[in-house]
Amino acid sequence: MSVGSDRPVVLVHGIWDSSSRLEPLRAGLSARGITNATAIDLRPNDGRALIPVLAAQVAHAVDSASDRDERVDLVGFSMGALVSRWYVQRGGGRARIRRFISISGPQHGTLNAYALPLAGVRQMRPDSELLRDLASDADPWGPVEVHTLWTPYDLMIVPARSSQLVGARSDQRVPVGLHRWMLSDPRVLDRVAQLLSA
């Protein structure tokens, strides 16, 4: 598969992860010609911080990735996809992001979030105040092009279809066996690289 782009791309990891967890994604994209992707570290990464607090870190990373005249592409995985969504919708991201790709994110919540009482985890519960607020937008994306990828076999995002987003330009269901494998499956890497090259 021959694609490529040197446009800045910011990669955002999920709960309990770090930028190193995204190395298979970054390396896979690099092998496919996406040469300017940077993974960031969200702190804290354990669900204690509210989603908007983490989104401010995404905003800083986006501003650091390029000057104000160039739009950046944003790829979020798991909790990082919801953090990235909040940034796009509420944190000024509509003015900075060209394309947002959500990979297996709890965009409508996950039942697993009931397992922990932490502030950020509670925001990932189905029908949380944060999720209701984001869903209330008549035009959530503005000029940002949105794409989703998810697996029906996800045991972290329950139900798995919670990863879908209303108004997404494309929604791809990839039959990957485990949540984390979405970061290394060649079908996912091919599709993300294709989207970032367009």
Beta strands in the chain (DSSP E): 9-12, 37-39, 72-77, 97-103, 145-150, 170-173
What is the chain's mean pLDDT, rounded?
Answer: 96
How far is 83 from 105, CA to CA, in rounded Å? 9
Structure confidence at residue 93 (pLDDT): 97
Q: What 3-state DSSP class applies to 24?
A: helix
Structure confidence at residue 83 (pLDDT): 98
Structure confidence at residue 71 (pLDDT): 95
How far is 181 from 166, CA to CA, in rounded Å? 24
- pLDDT band for position 132 (cuts 50, 70, 90): very high
Domain 9-197 class, CATH top level: alpha beta
- pLDDT band for position 1 (cuts 50, 70, 90): very low
How do residues 13-33 score in pLDDT, each as one tens digit? 999 999 999 999 999 999 999
Using the Cα atoms of residue 188, residue 180, residue 40 and residue 58 in order, give the sign of their dihedral: positive
How do residues 86-116 score in pLDDT, each as one tens digit? 999 999 999 999 999 999 999 999 999 999 9
How far is 40 from 169, CA to CA, in rounded Å? 25
- pLDDT band for position 68 (cuts 50, 70, 90): confident
Contact 9, 29 (CB under 8 A): yes
Structure confidence at residue 5 (pLDDT): 80
Within 10 Å of residue 77's Cβ, how many Cβ atoms?
26
% of the chain with per-residue pLDDT over 90: 94
How do residues 71-83 score in pLDDT, each as one tens digit? 999 999 999 999 9
